Amino acid sequence: MHKTIVNTQPFSDQKPGTSGLRKRVAVFQQPHYLENFIQSIFSTQSPLSGGTLVLGGDGRFYNQTAIQIILRMAAANGIAHCLVGQGGLLSTPAASCVIRQHGAQGGLILSASHNPAGPSGDFGIKFNVANGGPAPEKVTQAIYAYSQTIRQYTLLEAEPINIHSLGKQHLGDMLIEVIDPVADYAALMTDQFDFAAISELLAGDFQMRFDAMHAITGPYAQAILEQRLGAQQGTVIHGTPQEDFAGQHPDPNPAHAAELVEMTQGDNAVDFAAASDGDGDRNMILGKDIFVSPSDSLAILAANANCFPAYPKGIVGVARSMPTSQAVDQVAEHKGIACYETPTGWKFFGSLLDAGAIHFCGEESFGTGSNHVREKDGLWAVLAWLNLLAVKRQSVRQIVQSHWREYGRHYYSRHDYEAIDQTCAEHLMDRLREQLPMLPQTRLADLTVAYADDFSYVDPIDHTTSSQQGIRIGFTEGSRIVYRLSGTGTVGATLRVYLERYLPPTGQHDLDIQQVLGTLATLSREIADIKQITGRERPDLIV
Ligand code: G16
């Protein structure tokens, strides 16, 4: 088969963000754009040469085109073996599972996560390394550096490859194996949870819905919840992956999954509802008339880890991203286990998980996971909650409320200012940084600032430093305001403001969240001069 070398020029915007390279589809459709980035991965990640690569995505528009190009480039770049999810499909946690179980040297996940899809939507590429997790910063920096000097890429001339039938075929010297995208992952889940207990729960009066949001988790949820666990047919809604996610925003939060939230309210409310996102790594947990915040969900799962067959003696440690509420810290302190605060991005949990320092980790951005893979895992969190409900035989609300009675409640909310001008956003953050030395001991409203800093993290395992990871303003009674710019948007900048206030076990736990956080919300706008700098009166999204 003929190998072609194509001359090219660098694109200046190929720096990966919080989670891979995410751009509008039209950006990826530019001649050479995708190829340059893929060549930068193949040329810098030497273990891939002669090794095994896992390939799949969330099924969004442009996946099929990208997979054909990547296969031809992989074959031309000396990859020996490529495992492709049938139809080009693999959820992000399933890709992580396949990389680990097949001893692959890495994987490419084609997804822009929860961002909308379709010809005018977003596309993305994530490179995961041999531990199954997102590439750490030193790897993404090397890929970016290469992309800035690239002059050539190489690919095989070949007819389109059939990725829809299971089985093996050759492309040049490379073996392509089209695999069932669900099988390895479903088998792993049966090791993690008590499927018999969950089946028994689902066989009774218990009513649940799982919203796959027209994205990748449909086939996984149908196979695991309906076929293996015996949930009623129709439990999984919006279960057929579509290239444009039916024009919806597959972001599992109360704003974007409003239909599911409604199913948990009123006379015919279901007992439990959950949703996952475009690529299956996020989760939202709901009970009858209750939304479980991702930070609380992590804390509750950590507090009850001994309910899961994989952790009969509980867990050794936990980690959360810095802006995530400190609810899990309370659990760690009570249980005497380690607790780490990392920057935003699942990649920062990898070294802690690999070293056995933690078992569970999570983020406010609807991500929860464990050491079973190296990605956050939407269905894992759903099964964990089902396992918990099966063991405790209490409602979601009862479990959450008794957790608050034991550990106190961290009232928590994120206010997003979306698609603001990039220069304004950077100016706002710079001004905040300038104020930091003056803030400690200042009295603001009825609060006193205890500390104010720009979060910097030294990985305790590999000792790499990541600085400027978000501005934290902490108050003496435990409240916090955190500011950072999102690393996953594709239009302008998104300013995220995270608000947190703790009320102890004896405090009131049934108050309105935005009311409890009202003073902090006002302060957050004043301290950062949000209106003057961005022109925005109020956030575009409150979660
Ligand atoms: C990605 C990362 C997460 C991160 C989230 C939000 O999630 O994997 O670790 O918390 O983005 O990041 P940001 O606040 O920078 O937008 P996903 O589900 O989009 O891949």
Closest Cα to residue 126, out of 284, 283, 340, 278?
278
- pTM equals 0.95
Run of H or E including 263: helix 258-263
Ligand 1 midpoint to CA 374 (Å): 14
Residue nearest to atom 7 of ligand 1 (CA): 19
pLDDT tens string 63-112: 999 999 999 999 999 999 999 999 999 999 999 999 999 999 999 999 99
Ligand 1 midpoint to CA 346 (Å): 7
CB 114 less than 6 A from any atom of ligand 1: yes
Which domains are delineated in the chain? Answer: 3-181 (3.40.120.10), 185-407 (3.40.120.10), 409-542 (3.30.310.50)
Contacts of 429 (CB under 8 A, 6+ apart): 471, 483, 485
CB 253 less than 6 A from any atom of ligand 1: no
Active site residue 113: yes
Residue nearest to atom 13 of ligand 1 (CA): 486
Residue nearest to atom 4 of ligand 1 (CA): 345
Ligand 1 midpoint to CA 85 (Å): 23
Q: Please state, for a pLDDT cut of 90, what percent of the chain lies above it.
A: 96
pLDDT tens string 216-267: 999 999 999 999 999 999 999 999 999 999 999 999 999 899 999 999 999 9
Segment 339-345 mean pLDDT = 97
Confidence of residue 333 (pLDDT cuts 50, 70, 90): very high
Confidence of residue 539 (pLDDT cuts 50, 70, 90): very high
CB 92 less than 6 A from any atom of ligand 1: no
Other CB atoms within a 10 A radius of the CB of residue 475 amount to 21
Ligand 1 midpoint to CA 272 (Å): 25
CB 487 less than 6 A from any atom of ligand 1: yes
Ligand 1 midpoint to CA 238 (Å): 23
The residue whose CB lies within 8 Å of the most ligand 1 atoms, and thus the one to mutate among 15, 18, 353, 540, is: 18
The span from the CA of 134 to the CA of 128, in Å, is: 4
The tokens describing 283, both together, are 């989760």
Confidence of residue 19 (pLDDT cuts 50, 70, 90): confident
Residue nearest to atom 14 of ligand 1 (CA): 486
Across the strands, what pairs with 55? 84, 108
Catalytic residue among 113, 295, 325, 351: 113
Residue nearest to atom 17 of ligand 1 (CA): 113
Which atom of ligand 1 lies closest to the CA of 363? Answer: 10
The span from the CA of 231 to the CA of 224, in Å, is: 9
Other CB atoms within a 10 A radius of the CB of residue 1 amount to 12
pLDDT tens string 443-481: 999 999 999 999 999 999 999 999 999 999 999 989 999
The tokens describing 79, both together, are 């990859």
C-beta separation of 320 from 295 below 8 A: yes
CB 256 less than 6 A from any atom of ligand 1: no
Mean pLDDT of the chain: 96
Among 234-243, 299-308, 486-495, the least confident range: 486-495
Contacts of 347 (CB under 8 A, 6+ apart): 19, 133, 134, 135, 136, 137
C-beta separation of 100 from 192 below 8 A: no
The residue whose CB lies within 8 Å of the most ligand 1 atoms, and thus the one to mutate among 251, 320, 363, 497, is: 363
Residue nearest to atom 19 of ligand 1 (CA): 113
What is the predicted pLDDT for the residue at 18? Answer: 83
The span from the CA of 210 to the CA of 95, in Å, is: 21
